[in-house]
């Protein structure tokens, strides 16, 4: 497929979207998601993996809190991926990922994911292009494996924030006492590598697209949350799930 050009994709909602109406629609979707997630858990035939990727300050934590935080915690798990430990580095790069794939009946959220091994590693030259291409093939095979053999439905969201909005949010982490706990000086250094990250993401979208990415405008949290809630709602509705009857 042609390479995605992130610079040509808006990071904001279309002008036709009314903020308050969209927020009301999202709230209704989340109410319905609560019932759909309960049905997913009860039927125990499908699982869902939600991959959330994005630059620092793109709002990954907020999405998880505002959408998935309102669902039954018995059926929703969150795994945040940081720098790999020494034990994790002693295995193949997918070893630490595979053990957190969702069981039937559950929704698993990856806050960052296996894609970090072809993103930050390439930007910092810890992974050469040949190794990155090998890892992309492994990722495609991995996603096909869990989709085919465990009825795992994968939703992949890239939170598409603008460079300008990211700068504002990173500054908030210095000035706002409620956000200072998020401050990390390294985030400002990573932001200087914007061009390199955009190139790595674009190559990722081109080569790891057997399961499509949803490029989600992220400058406005209300629109970002609407897109993700809508996409999950559409998926769960399409499964035509039913509550099991009394076991005989």
Per residue in 16-53, pLDDT tens? 999 999 999 999 999 999 999 999 999 999 999 999 99
Contact 161, 219 (CB under 8 A): yes
Instruction: Return the pLDDT at 246.
Output: 87
Give percent of the chain with pLDDT exceeding 70.
99
What does the block give as tokens for 106? 């559950």
Question: Is the predicted pLDDT of residue 1 greater than 80, yes or no?
Answer: no
Per residue in 42-88, pLDDT tens? 999 999 999 999 999 999 999 999 999 999 999 999 999 999 999 99
Question: Is the predicted pLDDT of residue 160 greater than 80, yes or no?
Answer: yes
Instruction: Return the pLDDT at 247.
Output: 78
Taking residues 108-135, report their average pLDDT: 97
pTM of the model: 0.96
Per residue in 126-158, pLDDT tens? 999 999 999 999 999 999 999 999 999 999 999
Q: What is the mean pLDDT of the chain?
A: 96
CA torsion sign for 120, 126, 129, 130 is negative
Distance CA 185, CA 201 (A): 23
For 112-242, list the strands marked E by DSSP. Answer: 152-160, 213-217
Radius of gyration of the chain (CA): 18
What does the block give as tokens for 51? 């991959």
Instruction: Return the pLDDT at 201.
Output: 98
- Top CATH class of 43-238 equals alpha beta
What are residue 78's phi and psi, to 5 degrees?
-125, 130
Distance CA 64, CA 247 (A): 35
Taking residues 160-172, report their average pLDDT: 97
The residues spanned by each domain of the chain are 43-238
What does the block give as tokens for 9? 């994709």
Taking residues 170-174, report their average pLDDT: 95
Instruction: Return the pLDDT at 3.
Output: 84
Q: Which residues contact 187 (CB under 8 A, 6 or more apart)?
A: 56, 57, 170, 173
Distance CA 92, CA 53 (A): 21
Instruction: Return the pLDDT at 56.
Output: 96
Give rounded-to-5 percent helix, strand, coil for the chain.
Answer: 55, 15, 35
Per residue in 199-231, pLDDT tens? 999 999 999 999 999 999 999 999 999 999 999
What does 52-119 look like in DSSP terms, one character per residue? EEESTTS-HHHHHHHTGGGS-GGGEEEEE--SPPHHHHTS-TTHHHHTTSPPTT-EEEEES-GGGGGT
């Amino acid at each position: 497929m042609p390479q995605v050009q992130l610079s040509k994709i808006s990071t904001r909602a279309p002008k036709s979207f009314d903020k308050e109406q969209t927020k009301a629609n999202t709230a209704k979707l989340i109410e319905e998601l609560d019932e759909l997630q309960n049905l997913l858990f009860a039927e125990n035939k499908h699982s869902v993996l939600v991959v959330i990727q994005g630059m620092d300050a793109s709002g990954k934590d907020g999405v998880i809190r505002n959408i998935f935080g309102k669902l039954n915690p018995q059926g929703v798990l969150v795994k945040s991926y940081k720098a790999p430990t020494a034990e994790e580095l002693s295995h193949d790069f997918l070893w630490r990922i595979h053990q957190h794939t969702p069981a039937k009946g559950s929704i698993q959220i990856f806050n960052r994911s296996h894609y970090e091994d072809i993103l930050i590693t390439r930007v910092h030259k810890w992974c050469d292009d040949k190794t990155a291409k090998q890892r992309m093939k492994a990722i495609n095979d991995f996603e096909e494996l869990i989709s085919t053999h465990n009825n795992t439905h994968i939703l992949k969201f890239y939170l598409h924030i603008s460079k300008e909005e990211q700068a504002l949010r990173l500054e908030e982490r210095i000035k706002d006492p409620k956000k200072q706990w998020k401050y990390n000086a390294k985030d400002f250094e990573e932001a200087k590598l914007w061009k390199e990250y955009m190139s790595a993401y674009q190559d990722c979208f081109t080569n790891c697209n057997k399961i499509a990415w949803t490029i989600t405008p992220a400058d406005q949290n209300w629109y970002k949350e609407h897109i993700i809630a809508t996409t999950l709602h559409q998926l769960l509705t399409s499964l035509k799930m039913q509550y099991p009857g009394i076991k005989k």
